[in-house]
Amino acid sequence: MSRDLSQPPPTPRPTRAPGSKLIENALPLPDDTLQGDFDEINRIHSACGLQILYEPADSPAILLWCTHDNNSFPAVRELISLDFDPSAEFHNYTLHFFSIAQDTGYREWTARVEVDGAMLGVVSGLPSIPQARVTLLAHTKANFVPPLDPDNVLDRWRSVVKLRDLRLPQPTSEKCRYGNAFVAGTNPIVAYSGAVFWNETQVSDWQVLYKPCIPCLHDCDYLHCDPKCRDNGFTEVRLMLAGLKLKDGETYQFGVKATLANGQSAVSLSTGQLVDTTPPEVDNEAPLFYNDPTAPYPYAPTNYTASTTEIRAVWIISDNESLIMEHFWAIGSAPKGTDLQPWTSVGALPSGTNSQLVLTNGRKYFVSVRSVNNAGLATTYYDKIGLTVMTDPPELGNINASLVGVKDFDFEVSPPDAKMQTDQSVVGATLRFNLDKSVEYYEFCISSAEDRLDDILPCIPAPKMNESDAGVTVQIRNNTIQWNDFDGSDENITLRSLNRNSSVESLRNRFFLEPGKTIYIKLHACTKAYVCANRTLSKQTIVPDESLVLQISSLKTQALPVEFRDADRLDMPEVKVIGSYPNGTSLYFEKLTDERTKADYDSSAASHYKPYIVHPEWTKHRTGRLLTRRIREFGTTFAISPIGRATIELQVARSQQLTGVNAAKRRTRRDAAEDETVDSLIYWDADEQLWQLAGVFDTAATAGLPVSLGQERMFAMGSISKQPFNSAPVIQSELTGSLTVRDDVLVEFKRQLLAVDPEDDPVVWELRGDAKFGQASLSADGLLVYRPSYTVDELEWTESLPLVVTDQPPAGVPAKQARGVFQLSVSGGQFRTDIYFVRDGTALKGPVREVIKQEETDMRGIRFAISCATSVRATAKLSLRSPGGHELSMLSSSAQPPAGIDNLPKEAKWLTNVYEFRPKGRGHGRFSFEFAGVFELNGSVRGSDTAEVTVALLAMPCQNNGTCRGPEWDPDCSDVRRADGYEGYWCRCPVGWLGDRCELADPCALLRCDPPLVCRVGDDGSASCICPPGGDCETPPPGISLMDWLVPTLIALGVALVLAGAIIGAVMLRSRLRAKKLVNPVNAGSDSAEQREAQEMTERPISSQQGSERAETTAQDADVEEVETAIDGSTDAGGGVLGERSTPLPVFEAWDPHQAVVKGHGVDKKNMSDPFNF
């Protein structure tokens, strides 16, 4: 791969590039360029170099050479061929020096060349370099590159130049020669590479996977951009590495390297990617199950549903290696079917729900599942059991029931299905089934009403049965639930274990029901789809003594028999049945004794058992609203229960059959308490567990009270207070408050008032007066709102707001009120002090800090307004604190709010000042002005918030239409920090200008040099094309030469100048002949024949048409004459205003084709002898 160049080549002579002219000593060196001894500087030193040769393209190579000090030994050189294009992509080149000890004790230096870590060649016999300096010579692709012959490598340039802040120029023929490519964050990414990492260690080589295009964002980007590349939006690119050999079960990372055009790069690693070659696994025990949204437990597994629109499925398919990436599911009317729902993704959730289906009762539907792991492997599971739709309730009519402890009445009763139970602690039934396979379970329940299911005994499931023992006996006996299956198996359940709301340990086992209570024995059954049905097996009334049951139709009178009365009591009732009823309509009537009322009635299985018989004195405190604190004495208590829950209308009155001593006792008691108490009928509300008022007997004791009875009920004759009890509400809120009015906020006071009624009646609030300085409101639920007036002069005052709260008792109870006065202390008043900054139709309310930016080169004024608002009777003015240095003048002042701005307070007094900031000369910086409103009212002075306005004059040193370009954090030069200086920014210069601030004219911009000639600027500022050192500038190029285009250009320029001179001369001559009153200061004393002829022509009569033409011509001549006088007039000629014009006219110097310079400058016409003399 290498060859030895042992013989040094002859020293070449300077050559000239085709079509170029060699200019000797075109760039003389300054006197102080060389420092030190000339011979020492120009001697041959010990050095080594490496040059990458990418041309010709078919044989790229690396050239390594070394020279010894003062040519003490022959030079060493080695040409190493390359098998790749070094200009196509980035490579790492390494030149490694090391020494090898020889037998003679001399250490020989050797160099090894490596590219991307691979060795390409070794060169020995190198010189020792005790003090080394590395120099990098770079050349742009399109620029001039000094010719370097591999056989003549030692004839290199002898000039050494040290540079700082080097900018490599574009070719001189390009308009963007000094374009700043890849500056201020525009350095593009030119390649994305990929590699594999393991534990953040690279285990594969970088591979270029994607090369993005570079958009054209700026004028000079065409040097490296793609015009077809978009400059907005994002492009999604999928990067893939192929041909890898990875291990199963190991976790790897995908590394992406982004490389910039300048060679810098950054690497980002993905999260770990596990190599997984196994598909997801299906759970063998429960791969898939369904949920029924209509079931009591909608998330319990099932294969039945009552829904005709929805299917829910949950599956257990997992992958412990790479995890599940996505699940798909489908629904069909057969296994593997997709006719109801095609394959649909549900993401990573192992469940699916479709509620837009149309399902048929009795049909089965099947779900299929496909799960894909993160390695792309899939597992499909097809359900074969399916989901059955069941919407029909179970059939309970074929069940026979034999009740335990229940018998029929000895006489006809209505309703006919009413039964009698004599034991208060025993209840049960024997059930015989024709088994329905669709039924999931049967339950035994006891309730206190037809519309209730299990408020006495919660539903308890019957044991599982089969066709051979399709029957079961359930009963409550000895405070225990006993199940007896027909096959002889028994099961006992304690009552307290069924209680749903209390801990089992705190309960007792008890089942003892009150006499006269009607209970419902029910059977509750549900299908496998949880479609349930109820059947009432028995409606039975507990009757310990059958003699207490009366048939209404058997009564000779409508009054109940006298044996039910107690002649020893003063308040014995007289009960009558009102109306007619079917035969057999009966009721249970019992006068209650203390033993009956003190009995412990309970069902421990119920969460809250509610007996209808209680002891009056023990429950005296539990009353409805009309009896609150009114019961003075309980009299006779009795229970009435219609058999079978028939509805019966009764009338209850005080007994009129009292004689002798008993009548006297009642009269005595009545007279003593006539003004305080009244006799009444009260009853116990079992549902609410409260004593309620049925009615009050009148003083004549003749009228009865109507009672409508549809269920068992306990009554009591009672003595109650004549007047219902009611107490006034109690105000709990503190009726004081304070309000401090802020100067910058329109405030209001709010307070939620609270009041409690001792009887728990609802209350209503009401405001009984108006506010003095503002508006006050009080809602019915007690929200007090106060808004102070905007026009108040007072700074402090107190609002007294009278209010009342009234309770809302039931009808018949007088309402009570509580009164109060809310004292609100207001400080500050609505003495508002608002300040606004106004500009461009927008008002910003203080406190505000606003920054206005403007270029320092912009001398226009900046206008804004400051407005303040205060009380209509206050005096206001604006104060200003200014830094000085720049002029801020007030243009106008008015007592109006700023125009064109909405949502401003209209009741205020306004002061609006318009200001203008005008810079005093050019200069950057920040200039802040602080405004504040000062207000005075009734001797009190206060200030508003401040409005700080900062004018930021942004530094802009770019000259000659140069534009600003910013750093990475401010690419568009809009940051206010530019007002503090131009550090970090740079100027983008237009064509023809150079320098950091575009302050230098570029003479080379108008000069085109044929390669290899280059443009150089001399000390006098002129530009010329010269041949660079070592360039071949003598051989003319084939085709067009310098003279081929120079001669035609000179000829065309000469013809143009001649034509221009002829036109100007003709215009001058015509104007002299036509001017009527033209006086030539140079020839004032002579009258030529032409002048006399012109005078005669002006005195000769002419027609109107000729006159108009003559006038027009004269006007044109006057314009021409003005130009002529401005050109020909001398310094002492009387030219009037024409002689005072000082605008310089262009003057062209001769163009030296050898210097290739064109100069243009202005001259003063007053000092021109002959400006058109070329």
**CATH 2.40.70.10 at 281-389, yes or no:** no
The CA distance from 835 to 885, in Å, is 25
Q: What is the mean pLDDT of residues 1060-1073?
A: 67
Residue 394: φ, ψ to 5°: -70, 155
Confidence of residue 551 (pLDDT cuts 50, 70, 90): confident
Confidence of residue 396 (pLDDT cuts 50, 70, 90): confident
Confidence of residue 1067 (pLDDT cuts 50, 70, 90): low
Confidence of residue 466 (pLDDT cuts 50, 70, 90): low
Residue 382, SS3? strand
Select from 2.40.160, 1.10.3470, 2.60.40, 3.40.50 the CATH code of 834-954: 2.60.40
Please classify residue 418 by burial: count the beta carbons closer than 10 Å to its beta carbon, then call 0-12 exposed, 13-18 middle and 19+ buried.
buried
pTM: 0.52
DSSP string, 491-542: EEEESGGG-SSS-GGG----EEPPTT-EEEEEEEEEETT--EEEEEEEEEEE
Q: Compute the radius of gyration of the chain from its Cα atoms.
A: 58
Alpha helices in 588-672, H assignment, sequence order: 594-598, 661-672
The pLDDT value recorded for residue 610 is 93
pLDDT at 143 over 60: no
Residue 594: φ, ψ to 5°: -60, -35
Structure tokens at 345: 């993704």
- pLDDT per residue as tens digits for the range 851-860: 999 998 888 8
Highest mean pLDDT among 92-106, 683-697, 1159-1173: 683-697
Angle CA 676–679–685, to nearest 5? 115
Mean confidence (pLDDT) of the chain: 76
DSSP string, 305-370: E--SS-EEEEE-EE-TTT-EEEEEEEEESSTT--SSEEEEEEET-SEEEE-S----TT-EEEEEEE
Q: What is the CATH number of domain 730-827?
A: 2.60.40.60
* Cβ count near 1153 (within 10 Å): 13
- pLDDT per residue as tens digits for the range 150-165: 454 444 433 344 444 4
Q: Which of 690, 665, 693 shows the shortest CA–CA distance to 679?
A: 693
Residue 645, SS3? helix
Confidence of residue 906 (pLDDT cuts 50, 70, 90): low
The pLDDT value recorded for residue 621 is 92
Structure tokens at 797: 């005052």
The CA distance from 1 to 3, in Å, is 7
Q: Do 2 and 150 form a contact (C-beta atoms < 8 A)? A: no
* Cβ count near 728 (within 10 Å): 17
Tokens 């539907």: give the residue: 365
- pLDDT per residue as tens digits for the range 634-655: 988 999 999 999 999 998 888 7
Q: Do 945 and 935 form a contact (C-beta atoms < 8 A)? A: no
The pLDDT value recorded for residue 794 is 59
Structure tokens at 89: 């992509």
The CA distance from 852 to 954, in Å, is 10
Q: Between the CA atoms of 1092, 1097, 1099 and 1105, what dihedral angle is there, to the nearest 10 degrees?
A: -160
The pLDDT value recorded for residue 445 is 93
More confident residue, 829 or 906: 906
Confidence of residue 689 (pLDDT cuts 50, 70, 90): very high
Distance set, CA 884 to CA 838, 858, 888, 919 (Å): 22, 19, 8, 11
DSSP string, 1050-1095: HHHHHHHHHHHHHHHHHHHHHHHHH-SS---GGGTT---HHHHHHH
Specify the domain boundaries for CATH 2.60.40.10 within the chain.
Answer: 281-389
The percentage of residues in the chain with a pLDDT greater than 70, rounded to a whole number, is 71
The pLDDT value recorded for residue 153 is 45
pLDDT at 144 over 70: no
End-to-end Cα spacing for the chain: 67
Q: Do 366 and 329 form a contact (C-beta atoms < 8 A)? A: no
Q: Which of 656, 648, 482 shows the shortest CA–CA distance to 565?
A: 656
Residue 469: φ, ψ to 5°: -130, 50
Structure tokens at 1084: 């004032």
The pLDDT value recorded for residue 155 is 43
More confident residue, 371 or 546: 371
Q: What is the mean pLDDT of residues 186-207?
A: 89
SS (H, E, C) 222-278: HHCCCCCCCCCCCCCCCCCCCCCCCCCCCEEEEEEEEEECCCCEEEEECCCEECCCC
Which DSSP category does 1155 fall into?
T
Q: Which of 8, 30, 95, 27 shows the shortest CA–CA distance to 1015?
A: 27
Specify the domain boundaries for CATH 2.60.40.60 within the chain.
Answer: 730-827
The CA distance from 891 to 884, in Å, is 18
The pLDDT value recorded for residue 1117 is 37
The CA distance from 736 to 1166, in Å, is 94
The CA distance from 558 to 567, in Å, is 20
Alpha-carbon dihedral sign for residues 1127, 1131, 1133, 1137: positive
More confident residue, 166 or 1119: 166
| Number of helices and strands in the chain (H, E) | 6, 72
Structure tokens at 179: 């374009």
The CA distance from 886 to 859, in Å, is 12
Residues facing 111 on adjacent strands? 97, 123
The CA distance from 474 to 467, in Å, is 19
DSSP string, 908-977: SEEEEEEEEEE-SSS--EEEEEEEEEEEEETTEEEEEEEEEEEEEEE-----TT-EEE--TT-TTS--GG
Q: Do 876 and 891 form a contact (C-beta atoms < 8 A)? A: no
Q: Which of 531, 530, 523, 542 shows the shortest CA–CA distance to 445?
A: 523
Lowest mean pLDDT among 639-653, 698-712, 806-820: 698-712
Q: Do 709 and 645 form a contact (C-beta atoms < 8 A)? A: no
pLDDT at 1049 over 80: no
Q: What is the mean pLDDT of residues 705-728?
A: 93
The CA distance from 209 to 190, in Å, is 11
Tokens 């709260």: give the residue: 805
Structure tokens at 387: 């989901």
Residues facing 307 on adjacent strands? none
Q: Do 749 and 603 form a contact (C-beta atoms < 8 A)? A: no
User: Long-range contact list for 971-977, CB < 8 A, 24+ apart?
Assistant: 971/184, 971/185, 971/186, 974/853, 976/851, 976/853, 976/926, 976/952
